[in-house]
Amino acid sequence: MAAPEHVPTKPAQEVRAYTSPPRRPESWSVDRPADFAGEQRQPSGTRLGNQGPDQGYALKLAGILQPELKLTDGEHAKDALAGIVAVGLKRASLLGRAPVIHDLRIGATLFGFLDAAADPALVRLRTELFEEVGHFHHYAELRHIADMVDAGVLRQSPEQVSARYAADWRDQLTTDA
C-alpha cells in the first residue's frame, strides 16, 4: 500500500509511492451489454415508464399535496396520489429534470382532484381508472393513467392546464389510450 513520504519507515524497507495508472491509447467506448449509446439509449415503450432524475422526491411532494385533494365516496388518497405521481413524473422526465410540486398539481388538476365541483363524468371516469392503482400489482393500470395525458399537455404551464381544464377537461385527456 502506498504511503506518504513523511510517514516513518524502516530504513531497509522499500516503500512504494503513488504512480499514475498507464494511459489508455484509445478513447473509451461502449462495449458492455448494460451500457446505452447511439441508437440504443434508454429503452422506451409500453410499461417502461418515463425515466428521470430523483423521482423518489415525488413521494415527498405527494404528502404535501394530499391535504388539498377533493375525494368523493369510494376514492382513496393512496390511489389518487399514485396516479397523480405517475402523471407528474412523466411531466418531469419530459422536461428533463426532477419532479416539483407543479408537476403533481398538473396531474391532480387534469383528473379533477383539486376541484370540489368536478364534472360528475370525470369523477366516474377517475373513480374507475384510479381504483387500487396505489397497489404495486396494478402497474399496468397506473401506466395507462400516465399514458392518457399527451406530452403536449404536460409541456404547458400549470396556469394553461387549469384554464383548459375549466373550459373542458376532455380536451386534455386521451380516453382511448
Rounded distance, CA 72 to CA 76, Å?
Answer: 8
Residues of the chain with pLDDT below 70 are 1-3, 15, 28, 30, 33-43, 46-47, 176-177
Q: Which residue has the cell 377533493?
A: 70
Quote the cell numbers at residue 16.
512504494
* pLDDT at 15 (0 to 100): 66
* pLDDT at 11 (0 to 100): 74
Which residues partner with 173 through β-bridges? 149
Rounded distance, CA 57 to CA 137, Å?
Answer: 22
Kindly write down the DSSP assignment for every residue of 20-38, as one continuous string: PPPPPSS-----STT--BT
Q: Hey, CA dihedral for 83, 88, 94, 98, is it positive or negative? A: negative
Rounded distance, CA 127 to CA 114, Å?
Answer: 14
Q: State the alpha helices, DSSP H only, in the chain.
A: 57-65, 77-94, 101-110, 120-130, 139-147, 151-154, 158-167
* pLDDT at 34 (0 to 100): 66
* pLDDT at 41 (0 to 100): 66
Helix (H, G, I), strand (E, B) or coil at 61: helix
CB-side neighbour CA atoms (13 Å) of 103 = 26
What tens digit of pLDDT does each residue of 64-91 get?
999 999 999 999 999 999 999 999 999 9
Instruction: Report the predicted TM-score, pTM, of the whole model to 2 decimal places.
Output: 0.74
Q: Which residue has the cell 422506451?
A: 44
Rounded distance, CA 69 to CA 112, Å?
Answer: 9
* pLDDT at 92 (0 to 100): 94
Helix (H, G, I), strand (E, B) or coil at 27: coil
